């Protein structure tokens, strides 16, 4: 009997060890272990509790803030404020839909990067024919230049608004400084702790924009009932200039470079998990050779995927939807004229154009001088943060497609100068009007490029060929492709993007944009 009891006790001890090991694998990452040392007195004893998961979620904060910058850039400022001034609150529905579409597609990009360990540029290099890869690379580089050009213009305009004595070409030249800031903080092959400093820096800029917009929103009086009715679809969205403006909102929200970032920013946490637990099946570190890529282990994928998607969705939904909605509400409350009059005899407010200077002047004259200053400061922070993120994406695209081993300082400086030079020339030769027209032209190129950049994201995540991961015992693979419902929705969203982007170009060709 004693022998039987001893055997039973040993079996129970072994089972307990197995259970403990599984719990450690599911819940304990290096970042979570570090946070547990800070918040150990808050954590309950059961590691699968909702409170423990909630605290662990905070260790994944960061990438979503960087990606959300793409959805609150100067292009979004233009689209949201023009929509509010022209249609009051009716296009809030399109702001909501556009950001939901963005979150869905960004979640697929996070999944692609997490499961494969590759960013989108590396995946294209690995899976596509060379001619098709170079075609998409050329489109992506054009999108990066246009995106960066828009951020340079937005930054220069904001500096000129705050300091009228500063000429626009000088503002364009000053915007190169954010390239140096990237060198101080960000290194995609660096340690997770160093990357966290960069995430905090960009997150601080996002918080500053968020707070400034909150203050500006508090300066206006908008009827709550009408605002909430704006999130319900209306006829104006689908006809005439309303359709054009709706397409502009969608095109300004979905930025091509954001999808490259979505696939790349998850890698640091995956690699950190695998390196600390000796679980990685990788052939090399994230600073891989031209023909080998970091492949995260199945355990790292399971430990990080859901948290990464949740962090992205919560951050983008909170920041992007609020900021763009707030800008539209401010514009609708202060600038909307139901009679469409431009003369002052009927008490009407001049119609709002897409020119950021006109918007700044309307803030100054219609709301308050302080509101105009707040608008310019938020635009400045938006241009700086968006420029940094666009330069990051440019580096990711060039590294993945061309495998150019260039000094990081030179590479980033070249990326930014390609955008600064045309902005400098246009600002010096044509002034405010020329810069505004250049920003509008960039949006059309981005609309076309978005079709080709998002297609591979949906394609890769829909097929087992690309989304298989070696099993934990190494004897087989685990299929992590999208389920059929996710796949159907993803392709329908991609078709929606194609239709609306083509509609934007057609409506411009028909001259409907001239009425905005």
Position 48 in a domain: no
Q: DSSP letters along 200-215, please?
A: HHHHHHHHHHHHHHHH
Q: How many separate domains does the chain show?
A: 1
Q: Where are the alpha helices (DSSP H) in 317-407?
A: 322-335, 356-362, 369-402
Position 137 in a domain: yes
> CB 259: neighbour CB atoms within 10 A?
29
Specify the pLDDT at position 459.
Answer: 95
The DSSP element (H or E) to which 495 belongs, if any, is: helix 484-509
Percent of the chain predicted with pLDDT > 90: 11
Q: DSSP letters along 148-188, please?
A: HHHHHHHHHHHHHHH-TTS-HHHHHHHTTHHHHHHHHH--T
Domain range for 459 is 63-339+348-515
Question: Nearest CA to 250 among 313, 320, 203?
Answer: 320
Through-space distance between the first and last CA atoms of the chain, rounded to whole angstroms: 90
**Residue 137 in tokens:** 């690379």
- The C-alpha R_g of the chain, in whole angstroms, comes to 25
As a whole number of angstroms, the distance between CA 374 and CA 386 comes to 18
> CB 58: neighbour CB atoms within 10 A?
14
419 vs 59: which has the higher pLDDT = 59
For the ranges 37-46, 90-99, 168-177, 507-516, the lowest mean pLDDT is seen at 37-46
Confidence of residue 415 (pLDDT cuts 50, 70, 90): low
Question: Nearest CA to 156 among 446, 435, 375?
Answer: 435
Confidence of residue 13 (pLDDT cuts 50, 70, 90): very low
Percent of the chain predicted with pLDDT > 70: 70
Phi, psi dihedral angles at 163 (to 5 degrees): -135, 85
* Residue located via tokens 């919560």: 314
379 vs 338: which has the higher pLDDT = 379
As a whole number of angstroms, the distance between CA 366 and CA 350 comes to 10
Kindly report the CATH number assigned to the domain that includes residue 267. 1.20.1740
pLDDT score of 312 more than 60:
yes
Position 21 in a domain: no
pLDDT score of 487 more than 90:
yes
pLDDT score of 269 more than 90:
no
Q: Which residues contact 334 (CB under 8 A, 6 or more apart)?
A: 220, 349, 362, 363, 366, 367
Question: Nearest CA to 172 among 381, 397, 343, 419?
Answer: 419
Phi, psi dihedral angles at 450 (to 5 degrees): -60, -35
Mean predicted confidence (pLDDT) in 4-8: 45
Report which DSSP code applies to 236: G
434 vs 494: which has the higher pLDDT = 494
* Residue located via tokens 């300091």: 163
Position 14 in a domain: no
Q: Of 176-180, 428-432, 444-448, where does the model show the most confidence?
A: 444-448
Position 10 in a domain: no
**Residue 382 in tokens:** 């938006």
Cβ-based burial of 474 (10 A; exposed 0-12, middle 13-18, buried ≥19): exposed
pLDDT score of 498 more than 60:
yes
Specify the pLDDT at position 27.
Answer: 38
Q: Over the stretch 68-125, which tens digit does the pLDDT of each residue have?
A: 888 888 777 877 877 887 888 888 998 898 889 889 999 999 999 999 888 898 899 8
Position 58 in a domain: no
As a whole number of angstroms, the distance between CA 413 and CA 410 comes to 5
- Cα torsion for 364, 369, 371, 373, to the nearest 10°? 100
403 vs 262: which has the higher pLDDT = 262
Mean pLDDT of the chain: 74
Confidence of residue 500 (pLDDT cuts 50, 70, 90): confident
As a whole number of angstroms, the distance between CA 454 and CA 256 comes to 7
3-state SS class at 478: strand
As a whole number of angstroms, the distance between CA 407 and CA 291 comes to 20
Specify the pLDDT at position 112.
Answer: 93
Phi, psi dihedral angles at 479 (to 5 degrees): -85, 120
* Residue located via tokens 């998850």: 266
Mean predicted confidence (pLDDT) in 228-233: 88
């Amino acid at each position: 009997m004693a022998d039987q009891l001893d055997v039973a006790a040993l079996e129970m001890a072994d089972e307990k060890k197995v259970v403990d090991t599984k719990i450690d694998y599911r819940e304990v990452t290096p970042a979570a272990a570090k946070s547990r040392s800070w918040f150990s007195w808050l954590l309950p004893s059961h590691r699968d509790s909702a409170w423990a998961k909630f605290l662990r979620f905070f260790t994944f904060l960061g990438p979503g803030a960087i990606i959300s910058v793409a959805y609150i850039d100067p292009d979004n400022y233009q689209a949201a404020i023009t929509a509010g001034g022209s249609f009051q609150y009716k296009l809030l529905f399109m702001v909501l839909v556009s950001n939901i579409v963005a979150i869905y597609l960004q979640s697929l990009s996070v999944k692609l990067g997490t499961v494969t360990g590759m960013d989108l540029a590396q995946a294209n290099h690995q899976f596509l024919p060379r001619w098709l890869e170079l075609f998409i690379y050329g489109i992506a580089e054009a999108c990066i230049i246009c995106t960066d050009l828009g951020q340079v213009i937005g930054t220069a305009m904001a500096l000129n608004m705050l300091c009228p004595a500063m000429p626009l070409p000088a503002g364009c030249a000053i915007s190169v400084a954010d390239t140096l800031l990237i060198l101080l903080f960000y290194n995609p092959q660096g340690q997770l702790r160093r990357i966290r400093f960069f995430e905090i820096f960009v997150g601080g800029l996002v918080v500053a924009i968020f707070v400034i917009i909150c203050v500006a929103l508090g300066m206006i009086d908008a009827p709550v009932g009408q605002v909430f009715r704006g999130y319900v679809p209306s006829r104006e969205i689908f006809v005439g200039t309303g359709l054009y403006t709706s397409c502009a909102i969608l095109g300004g929200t979905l930025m091509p470079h954001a999808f490259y970032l979505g696939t790349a920013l998850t890698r640091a946490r995956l690699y950190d998990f695998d390196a600390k637990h000796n679980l990685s099946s990788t052939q090399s570190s994230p600073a891989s050779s031209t023909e080998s890529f970091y492949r995260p282990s199945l355990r790292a994928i399971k430990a990080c995927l859901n948290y990464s998607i949740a962090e992205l969705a919560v951050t983008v939904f909170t920041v992007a939807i609020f900021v763009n909605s707030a800008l539209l509400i401010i514009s609708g409350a202060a600038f909307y004229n139901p009679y469409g009059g431009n003369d002052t005899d009927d008490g009407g407010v001049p119609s709002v154009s897409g020119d950021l200077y006109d918007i700044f002047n309307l803030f100054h004259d219609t709301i308050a001088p302080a509101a105009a200053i707040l608008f310019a400061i938020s635009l400045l922070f938006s241009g700086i943060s968006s420029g940094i993120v666009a330069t990051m994406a440019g580096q990711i695209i060039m590294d993945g497609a061309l495998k150019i081993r260039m000094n990081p300082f030179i590479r980033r400086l070249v990326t930014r100068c390609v955008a600064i030079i045309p902005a400098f020339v246009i600002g010096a030769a044509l002034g405010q009007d020329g810069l505004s027209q250049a920003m509008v032209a960039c949006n059309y190129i981005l609309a076309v490029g978005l079709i080709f950049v998002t297609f591979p994201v949906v394609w890769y995540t829909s097929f087992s060929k690309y989304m298989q991961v070696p099993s934990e015992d190494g004897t087989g693979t685990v299929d992590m492709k999208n389920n059929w419902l996710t796949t159907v929705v993803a392709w329908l969203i991609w078709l929606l993007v194609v239709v609306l982007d083509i509609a934007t170009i057609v409506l411009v060709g028909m001259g409907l944009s001239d009425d905005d």
